[in-house]
A and B are shown apart, each in its own frame.
Chain A
Amino acid sequence: MNKTMSIARYEYLHHVGRKRFWIALIGVPLGFVLLLGLSTLLSRLSFDTRPVGIVDHAALIQIEPDHSKESTFFEPQIYLQVFPDESAARVAIETNKIQGFAVLPEDYLSRFQIVYWANKQPLSDVQSVITDFVSKNLMVSENIDPAVVSRINEGSQISLQSLDGSQVYDGSNTDRIAVPILVGVLNFILVMTCGGYLLQALVEEKENRTLEILLTSVSPKEIMTGKIIGNLSIGFTEIGAWILLLAIAGFIFRNKLEFLMGLDISFSYVAISVALTIFSFIFSAALMVTIGAMMTSTAEAQGVIGLMVIPMMLPVYFFGTFMNNPNGLLPRVFSFLPFSSPLSIALRMAIGSVSRTEILLAFVVIVLMTLLMVWFAASAIKRGMLHFTPRLLLRRKFNKETPNA
């Protein structure tokens, strides 16, 4: 095993053996499940499932309300109940049997005005249930074919095309938005956890003077490369474990997740996004090492990790700009910055199209900048890591040096 792989192996085993790795490994999905469960529970508790009454003075209703779909905890339904008159509906409200009732006045067909009676503001779902039901009855009263009724209710799919022929947005491509979300999460996890481990480990080595020992055994580039490979492997272990957990959960709840089968995401799209994310992480890791060379304590290093996320999430802050014009100036500029490139390209590919040439160019730029940053970081290890006070000044890095041999 060469020295680089020895460093990578040590980094990996060292961090995987620590409590905080396992806390993160178990804590993140557990926290996610708890948050999801809590928000679902709160949402469910605030969802009023009592039926909604309807009083028809316009003699419009010809079909019975549809109660075929079962109301469950995860998919609660609001059923409609037809009342012969308003007084019967009022009694039902007072006895808590319904949450409110809608009245279709005699002149509904001329004014299209519905009055809703209730003691509290209804959920938006109530309005949808009432208008859908009334619309269906309107169409039936006009003898429109039920198949056409169904099509009208489904609505139309709008596809936007740019004048140069490249696709800008297709309603059927909403699945692809999953990729930028994946890239965002992946980036966040890699920088916050693996980058955090890397920066903290380096500052600790600087404090312990173990770095001085390492520098008398291996080159700074080997140290850098080994640490990045080790920490990247930790990230993939975490993500792999979470994917496994998701797969298990998916298998258990497979009946509820049938919609996933219809996802239309190409392998190349995911591969481009993941590859850019890895290079972006290497760039961030190298930058962290450079910053670590200027840090004097682990507490200082902790603060820096949070700052790294800000430029990474630039496309999120400018989400509106991306949606309006994914091939505009700002999205294009962000596509060539190592921090924001993965999310920018993934987002642009999800809502529009990015030419192969541009993707290739972005790769070339990101790889070159990453290599430059790694070189810079290796130099920082050697020059900065042994300085404790005063802190290393960036300008010191640029001082001309003469080889000693």
Chain B
Amino acid sequence: MSTIIVDKIAKSFGSTQAVKDVSFEVHPGEIFGLLGPNGSGKTTSIRVILDIYQADSGTVTILGGPMTNEKLNHIGYIPEERGLYQDVPLDRCLTYLATLKGMTEDQIKDRLPKYLAKFDLTEHAKKKAKELSKGMQQKGQLIAALLHDPEIIIIDEPFSALDPVNTQLVKDLLIEQRNAGKTIVMCTHQMNQVEQLCDRLVLIDHGQVLLQGELSEIRDRFRTNEVIIEALNPLPEHINGVSKIERLNDAHRLTPQVGISAHDLLNELVSQGIELNSFEVAVPTLDEIFIRVVKEGNGHNE
């Protein structure tokens, strides 16, 4: 059963339509990517899911029904920026936010030190948020979202202020949560992180869904028969069966003509005496898919 079911939600602010007929489902034990350019309607969709905004139309089903005050205790949320009291010591701030999630003082006393240690924040626990670096604040927010052991984690740009070490720490943590059966919705612009973490994704732009599905299925959908080669000798200007040759750094991207397979192309290159260091079928990156879909979407919108 899906943990979150978003069904044709729409939300306007005055004359601006922020979200229009957005639908998707998120299942337990998966990391779901909510992608889109700035101003695409991601944050509005999240706020509708969290019942901060009420949708003009459509429904949101959380844990089998409409949102209730009790269900808020089962959700951990990290907004895109800030979210901590700036002039309050970190441990007091986290304790307060945890009590609002229904945790008892004993539970907090038991779990908080472990999380602070896990995120290497023990010695900074008494510092005010404004005295911490952006990365530390981001880790503090993660603790605030996870301390009450929520079933659903909604996280906006989780890696925005983190260095590579902490990025890996958060990635491991998200994978750990997924493996524990938690439902994770992740908004991000960092496509490499989505490729590494997300099981499924939805791409929205101008408040509308442009693309959604499993990551592997989406890649297959956008796969072309282009190949990338690294040749040991210079390539001729014209190769039979190739419509376009594009130079990359130390390699070339070859676009075959219609009806020419990668296998045909390999035979042609060998027959022309081109010595190859590598030959691989090009798989489109999520970045490329993202840009292509958004551009096409904008074309449709225009």
Contact = CB atoms under 8 A, between A and B. Distances in A.
Nearest to B88: A14
Contacts of B100: 3, 6-7, 214, 217-218
27 contacts: A3-B102, A6-B96, A14-B88, A205-B85, A208-B82, A208-B83, A209-B82, A210-B82, A210-B83, A210-B84, A212-B77, A213-B83, A215-B50, A216-B72, A216-B75, A218-B100, A222-B69, A386-B52, A396-B14, A402-B54, A402-B55, A402-B57, A404-B48, A404-B51, A404-B60, A405-B60, A405-B66
Contacts of A215: 50, 52
Contacts of A210: 82-85
B86 interface: yes
Contacts of A209: 79, 81-83
Q: Is the interface of B mostly helix, strand, loop or mixed?
A: loop
Nearest to B14: A396
B4 interface: no
A209 B56 CA distance: 24
A66 interface: no
Q: How large is the interface on B (under 10, 10 to 19, 20 to 34, 35 or more residues)?
A: 35 or more
Interface residues of A, number: 28
A216 B71 CA distance: 10
B61 A212 contact: no
A384 to B, nearest CB: 12
Interface string A1-23: 10100110010001000000000
B99 interface: yes
A192 B199 CA distance: 54
A208 B101 contact: no
Contacts of A386: 47, 52-53
A404 B93 CA distance: 31
Contacts of A6: 96, 99-100
Given A209-B81, A210-B83, A396-B14, A404 B55 contact: yes
A250 to B, nearest CB: 38
A143 B151 CA distance: 100
Interface in B73-117: 73, 75, 77, 79, 81-86, 88, 96-97, 99-102
Contact of B85 (A208, A212, A382): A208
Contacts of B69: 218-219, 222
Contacts of B260: none
B85 A401 contact: no
Contacts of B50: 215-216
A375 to B, nearest CB: 16
A320 interface: no
Given A212-B83, A213-B144, A222-B69, 5 more contacts: A6-B100, A216-B72, A217-B97, A402-B56, A404-B55
Contacts of A222: 69
A294 B229 CA distance: 59
B122 to A, nearest CB: 22
Contact of A213 (B47, B61, B77, B88): B77
B55 A212 contact: no
A403 interface: yes
Contact of B99 (A1, A14, A208, A219): A1
B284 interface: no
A157 B121 CA distance: 75
A7 B97 CA distance: 10
A404 B79 contact: no
Nearest to A382: B52
A6 B103 CA distance: 11
B58 interface: yes
Contacts of B265: none
B58 A212 contact: no
Contacts of B56: 401-402
Nearest to B99: A6
B160 interface: no
A218 B72 contact: yes
A316 to B, nearest CB: 36
Contacts of B55: 402, 404
B65 interface: yes
B67 interface: yes
Contact of A212 (B66, B79, B86): B79
Contacts of B48: 404
A6 to B, nearest CB: 4
Interface string B22-55: 0000000000000000000000000110111111
